[in-house]
Structure 1
Amino acid sequence: MEIMITDDPEKVVEWFRALPSAKEKTTQLHFYFHDTVSGKNPTVVTIARAPSTDKSPTMFGLLNMMDDPLTVGPDPNSEPIGRAQGIYGSAGQDSAGLLMTLNFVFTGKEYNGSTLSVLGRNPVFETYREMPITGGTGVFRLARGIATAKTYVFNTTSGDAIVEYNVIVLHY
């Protein structure tokens, strides 16, 4: 079943009609997420904070909007493959845990125009984190799966981070 990224609702209806005979695919992705909160061109901005956030050891109540580059390697100048766009908020009062709601928006060759959606808890100071893939568009229509994250570099002074992601999704 070939998928086409389209803005034509009738083509999407046709795609769904053919779905019962479609074979499910598995796709694995590996990339790096560059979260920059400092400097002249941050990719993250604070959009809200609770009055008590600055007194909280976990920054509870802080809400950020992001538009982070995704690249094939950890070097910020490596080949771009997309953006991570969404919101993350500090949701843990007793331990650092972010509520992540974001889309991986792919711009690279094979997946250009497709997205994967993540919604889940990210305990950022744990070595290994797992978050659910809750959907997708384009090549990844009806996706479900897991995104695992591991911090590659975290600058405690600036707050900037590079995070390695491994994603595995089932889709049609």
Structure 2
Amino acid sequence: MIVPELSIRTAVPGDDEVLGALDRAAWSTLHAVLPAPTPPYEPFFDARHLPGDYLLAVGGGAVVGYIRIVPPTPLAATAHVRQIQGLVVADSARGRGVARALLRAAMDRARADGAVRMTLRVLGHNAPARALYASEGFAVEGVLPGEMFLGGAYVDDVLMGRALDPR
């Protein structure tokens, strides 16, 4: 069930601190490929991570999640594709449809930008995320076995994608 009071908006530069805090609070070996962040913290936004790349879920007046969608490469040959490169939901908002709402909003934005395909990468052991993506029409298109070494174990890198049907 999607939270009725939930709204989705594009990030702005002033969201830097709240997104950094959300990212740090939600860090988990289930989805993170980088070590846990430690002070001093880097800015959330930088030259490669621009506010316009992020859609934010706002519920109860607070940012409760984000999704980052970008072209997968700077090549003209992939201009028709958008890639999800991050989806985070606050612990307090999990199980309330926030991730699904962000995912659907990202696909709507990608369609509006002229994209006809959406891709993502997810860690093989992240069963909840894989189930969400599959329920929204994403299919496994490849697996890189043992591609990541995280927490003392080799973890698969799962490539998923789907066509974006026009609405």
TM-score, normalised via structure 1 length: 0.32
Per residue, is there more helix in 1 or in 2? 2
- TM-score, normalising length from structure 2? 0.32
Structure with the higher strand share, 1 or 2: 1
Q: Larger Rg: 1 or 2?
A: 1
